[in-house]
Structure 1
Amino acid sequence: MKNLIRIILFVGIIFMAGCGQSNENKGNNEDNNADLTPVTFALDWTPNTNHTGIYVAKEKGYFEEQGLDVEILLPGEVGVNQLLAAERADFGISYQEGLTQARSEGLPLVSIAAVLQHNTAGYASPVEKGITSPKDFEGKKFGAYGSDLEKAMMKTLMENDNADVEEVDYITTGDSDFFVAVERDVDFSLVFYGWTGIEAELRGVDLNMVYLADFSDELDYYTPIIATSEEMISTDPELVKAFTHAAVKGYEFAVEHPEDAAQILIDHVPDLDPDLVKRSQDWISPRYQDDADQFGTQEQERWQKFADFLLEYEIIDEPVDIEQAFTNEFLPKK
């Protein structure tokens, strides 16, 4: 396993020579930013409303107030966790499920803030499929990525609803477009409502949603999260604090001003559908903080429950020290 990790990191460093292109125009700003500390932030996916707070913090000058010049890296051939572990990015968007697995494999990553307080992922299906609970998955075709974690999650939900996971027909669709897949190949698939669900609304497609968190406490994990490395925390905790404070301020702005925040994202990423961004931002802004005392906070119990779940289903081979996997230390004191 250690050799595999070394290979992954080595490949990641090679690929970074040709990936991680930023959508920010740095050429005209180099002189202005000469006194700022350069910081790289890696996105997990095409820019979307999970990332709005970062773009707000950059646009509104919150990073500069903290002495930082943040470069936003678009996703490339190498995943965020590998970039952070290889010190090819300072911070990035990750997920509790991926970070927990990474730590079990020896990658020393740490979550420093939750972007969404509760898991908004769920199984989506056109209403005519009649899928309103895990029991209804029986006899249906599921559009799967093909991971063991995916099967474990479905098994948990279905057992909690007295249903048999063996009655589900798995069809590997990978990254296929959800709308094409449910029209042509499958009955339902796992999506994040804040983007794909909102797109369905704009398309006039009525969906039923079976949310993971509604049927299983252990699957109400934090997704997405803002992550960094143990090395970054150890060598420059003040930088981590500065970055976190600015990012939190950006997301707090998006909570209070969703329309303005959406426009900032649109201005920075003009290829995005403006209607989708605005509708998505309206939906997701209240869910950034949700019922938490402040944006970004994380609970040890929820990290532990999900780690135990991964261990029970043998998604990870060894227990993970949860106290090392996340921290609220760098969040602003309220």
Structure 2
Amino acid sequence: MKSKCFRIIIVLLTLFLWLTACQADQPVVDEPFADDPSAEEVINIRLPMGFVADPQYAPFYVAQERGYFANAGFVVEFDYSFETDGVALVGANELPFAIVSGEQVLLARAQNIPVVYIMEWFQKFPIAVVSKAESDIFSPEDLHGRSVGLPGFFGASYVGYLGLLAANDLQPEDVNASDIGFNQVESLLADQAEAVVGYANNEPVQLAGQGEAVNVILVSDYIDMVANGIITNETIIAENPKLAERFVRAVLRGLADTLADPDAAFEISKNYVEGLEDGRKPVLEASLPMWQAETLGLTELASWENTQQVLLDAALMDEPVADLTAVFTNDFVLANNE
């Protein structure tokens, strides 16, 4: 009898050790609302990303993989469809959050769409002017009289380009700009334009990967504008601010982890970006400096003033928003840094 009991104990102990070893390989996921026991229910949300699945979204993939969204009470679906108008859906309170660039927030507020920017993900405006090294375009002044291709006369690329010109006393008519669609790499390689406007963590990386030496003029080196971040709406801030606080917390944790260990973040990204290969790792590496800050997520009034002025000068806005400080808040970022 003693021998039989002893064998049962050994089997149970072996099973326990096996289960413990299996769990050690899994990401640590606390119970929902482990960070906020006062929350009432887990909610499913669709998060408009504004672009295709890409390693630049590593902070969000890390937050998903390591359970930070789950801990905060969210089941998150990443939405990459271009048809999704994140600003309109969040403004109408049909979705709680979206990833949006700062100029889109200002344009929405000018149309009385009640969106609010609650966390600045990109601390540096990610737009750049890219040219072949042989073109001798080293500074904004060198763009005078040159041909520049843009993906369109709209969006962050266009606004960043206008901000770069304005910061260097250049007028749009000083440059021969044309709409080339989203074909910046092909257009530059085929010499259809002497320079192209794109994202600093995209087109230069692609060109370098093809062996093309390039010059890169970063908009952020000349003007501080508001880039990509998280938006919510006035209803959520007024009626359920804890929802926004928890979401910001999850994103900040994913962002901090990505900055601390980019290699691990890139490996996690492979679970979310189909066919992602190591050759795309420079996209993440080029993104890291644009996210860094002494306090992650903070946004500054001066950045909003600069962005608004660019929009006004380009006649993309008829008049300033009534209260620029109502367009954004740092409250949720600061609440997660106490």
**Matches for 1:1-334 after TM superposition, within 5 Å:** 36-147=42-153, 154=161, 157-158=164-165, 161=168, 165-175=172-182, 177-184=183-190, 185-215=192-222, 217=223, 220-276=224-280, 278-289=281-292, 292-320=293-321, 321-331=323-333, 332-334=336-338
1:164 deviates by 5.8
Query: Is the 2:200–2:286 contact (alpha carbons within 8 Å) kept by the matching residues of 1?
Result: no
Counterpart amino acid of 1:127?
A
**1:244 and 1:151 mapped to 2: Cα distance?**
28
The TM-score, its normalising length taken from structure 1, stands at 0.81
Equivalent residue number for residue 27 of structure 1: none
**2:162 and 2:231 mapped to 1: Cα distance?**
29
**1:328 and 1:207 mapped to 2: Cα distance?**
37
Greater gyration radius: 2
Query: Between the two proteins, what is the percent identity of the paired residues?
Result: 24
Deviations 1:38-64 (A, max 9, x none): 222111101224421111111100111
**1:293 and 1:199 mapped to 2: Cα distance?**
30
* Gap regions ≥5 residues in structure 1: 1-31
Query: Is the 1:41–1:92 contact (alpha carbons within 8 Å) kept by the matching residues of 2?
Result: yes
**1:311 and 1:61 mapped to 2: Cα distance?**
42
Mean Cα displacement is larger for which, 144-153 or 114-123? 144-153
Deviations 1:159-218 (A, max 9, x none): 65465643422221122x211111232111111111222222222111111122223x3x
Counterpart amino acid of 1:241?
E
1:285 deviates by 2.3
Query: Is the 1:43–1:74 contact (alpha carbons within 8 Å) kept by the matching residues of 2?
Result: yes
**1:268 and 1:148 mapped to 2: Cα distance?**
29
**1:252 and 1:174 mapped to 2: Cα distance?**
34
CA change 1:162–1:252 in 2 (3 A) is closer
The TM-score, its normalising length taken from structure 2, stands at 0.80
